[in-house]
Amino acid sequence: MVRDPSGEPLELIGSSIRIGDRKQAEAELRQSEERLQLALEGSALGLWDWHLSSQSTYFSPQWKRMLGFEVDELTNHHQTWENLVHPEDLPGANQALQAHLQGQAPVYQAEFRMATKQGDWKWIFSHGKVFEWDHTGQPLRMTGTHQDISDRKAINQMKDEFISIISHELRTPMISIRSSLKLLSTGLLGDLTEKGQRMLDIAVNNTDRLGRLINDILDLQRLESGQFSITKQSCEATTLIRQAVEAVQIIAHKQQIHLQILETTPLDIWADSDYILQVLINLLSNAIKFSETNTTVQIGVQPQKTSARFWVKDQGRGIPTDQLESIFGRFQQVDASDSREKGGTGLGLAICRRIVELHGGKIWVESTCGQGSTFYFACPAPSLTPSLNDSLMTDKSGFGNS
């Protein structure tokens, strides 16, 4: 309004903006929110939306109902989540959160127990991602979902216990069968015909395989149940490598595989030496098993920032790209005939992965079909200061930091 000196209205000035686009955007946003709401309700997922600077966190009604709470019974603050997570599971969940917040993991994923209003625990699978950062790259907002996985956990536990009992029960008669067969093969109980001896060899071989399978199942079960402890102490990485090489020397010799140790810089790691030795022997045995005669298997360890990276490289048949991850799962073999022909169980790498994870490290493989594979695993080496590391990293092996 423009007025004259006496205050009387003179003219009215205004502007108009076409808001068709905005209206349309608002309608689309409403629609997509409705869609999200329906999807969340349909899938029984709880939603969380965490503002990192204020720590205020939106928990959807389903998020709260999953734990037996009414909407107004929990405050919308990050602390609410921390208070409800089982104290034993909180460090692991926070570690996964930090790994994502610091950009080490593309998404955040964690499984933990949460307290319900009734006072018991529910297993929750949480999955989320940062989607807003400030101008310095610091995360501002992160959102994700909660899923109740208690039933799956209970079934898995029952399955594991069942497997464990069966394996224990199988082991005793197995040992007795094996001893009897071995006794027969010595000839002390009478000579066998050539055909009989062949049959006996097959029986011994298969009992050995069954024995390995039972031992591997029990090993994995023990590692996954958490009913054991690993005793970490300072140990020397190259000594472990030498011990592992010694342990597989006979099978390498039998297959005419040449074993070579590279990169022998003394390097202290923080680990349970028996378990790390088990991983190294397993990787070396596989490398030998899946290589042709007259080829070389190499092994070494490289210092990284705060860890030691072990590697085992072969010139064997290699692993298809789509199976580079899956072979670390239970009973996963590239070829179904591997267990029969190579005597494996498909559990060795699953055991290795569990051991490495329990040390706070990770294991992975790079491979080219027909040319060979290199298995890597990292193990904490707190003694490595960055300056020492820098001087050691002028590495001469040619294996690089891949």
Phi, psi of 250 (to 5 degrees): -65, -45
Shortest distance, CB of residue 310 to ligand ADP, whole angstroms? 14
Q: In 3-state terms, what secondary structure has residue 145?
A: strand
Q: Does 338 bind ligand ADP (CB under 6 A)?
A: yes
CA 99 and chain centroid, separation: 14
CB of 285 to ligand ADP, least distance (A): 7
Q: Are the C-beta atoms of residues 356 and 362 closer than 8 Å to each other?
A: yes
377 in contact with ligand ADP (CB under 6 A) = no
Which window, 38-46, 113-121, 232-240, 341-349, contacts ligand ADP (CB under 6 A)?
Answer: 341-349
Burial of 211 (0-12, 13-18, 19+ CB in 10 A): middle
User: Hey, what amino acid is at 85?
Assistant: V
Looking at the Cβ atoms of 74 and 363, the one nearer to ligand ADP is 363
Q: What is the dihedral of CA 144, 145, 146, 149, to 10 degrees?
A: -120
Binding segment toward ligand ADP, per CB under 6 A, in 35-43, 229-237, 250-258, 346-354: 346-354
CA-based nearest residue to 81, from 103, 108, 35, 112: 112
In the complex, which residue's CB is closest to ligand ADP? Answer: 344
With CB under 6 A as the contact rule, the residue among 174, 349, 358, 363 that binds ligand ADP is 349
Tell me the two tokens of residue 196. 């009989």
> Between residues 303 and 346, which has the closer beta carbon with respect to ligand ADP?
346
From CA 42, how far away is CA 328, in angstroms rounded?
33
**Residue 267 or 351 with smaller CB distance to ligand ADP:** 351
The minimum distance between CB 32 and ligand ADP, in angstroms, equals 43
Q: What is the DSSP letter of 175?
A: H
Q: Using CB under 6 A, which of the segments 76-84, 169-177, 181-189, 348-356 binds ligand ADP? A: 348-356
What's the closest the beta carbon of residue 251 comes to ligand ADP, in angstroms?
Answer: 13
Residue with tokens 């011990």: 243
Q: Shortest approach of ligand ADP to residue 288 CB, angstroms?
A: 8
Q: Which of residues 254-273 bind ligand ADP (CB under 6 A)?
A: none
Least distance CB 208 / ligand ADP (angstroms): 13
> Minimal distance in Å, beta carbon 104 to ligand ADP?
26
Place of tokens 């790390």: 276
Q: By C-alpha distance, which of 245, 257, 259 is closest to 294? A: 257
Q: Please say which residue, 62 or 367, places its beta carbon nearer to ligand ADP.
A: 367
**Considering the rule CB under 6 A, would residue 347 count as an interface residue with ligand ADP?**
yes
Question: Distance (Å, rounded) from C-alpha 332 to C-alpha 334?
Answer: 7
Q: Least distance (Å) from ligand ADP to the CB of residue 80?
A: 42
Residue count, binding to ligand ADP (CB under 6 A):
22
Near ligand ADP in 278-337, by CB under 6 A: 286-287, 290, 314, 316-317, 319, 327, 332-335
C-beta closer to ligand ADP: residue 79 or 326:
326
Q: How far is the CB of 287 from ligand ADP (least distance, A)?
A: 5
Cα gap 162→179, rounded to integer Å: 27
- Residue 330 CB, shortest distance to ligand ADP, in Å, is 8
Question: What would the DSSP string read from start to end of 33-73?
Answer: HHHHHHHHHHHT-EEEEEETTT-BEEE-HHHHHTTT--GGG
Cα dihedral: 301, 249, 356, 239 (round 10)? -50
Judge whether 55 and 97 are in contact, CB under 8 Å.
no
- Which residue number, 110 or 349, has a Cβ lying nearer to ligand ADP? 349
Instruction: Write out the DSSP string of 252-279.
Output: HHHTT-EEEE------EEEE-HHHHHHH
Instruction: For residue 8, give the 3-state DSSP assignment.
Output: coil
Closer residue to ligand ADP in complex, CB, 128/318: 318
Name the residues that contact ligand ADP, by CB under 6 A.
Answer: 286-287, 290, 314, 316-317, 319, 327, 332-335, 338-339, 344-350, 373
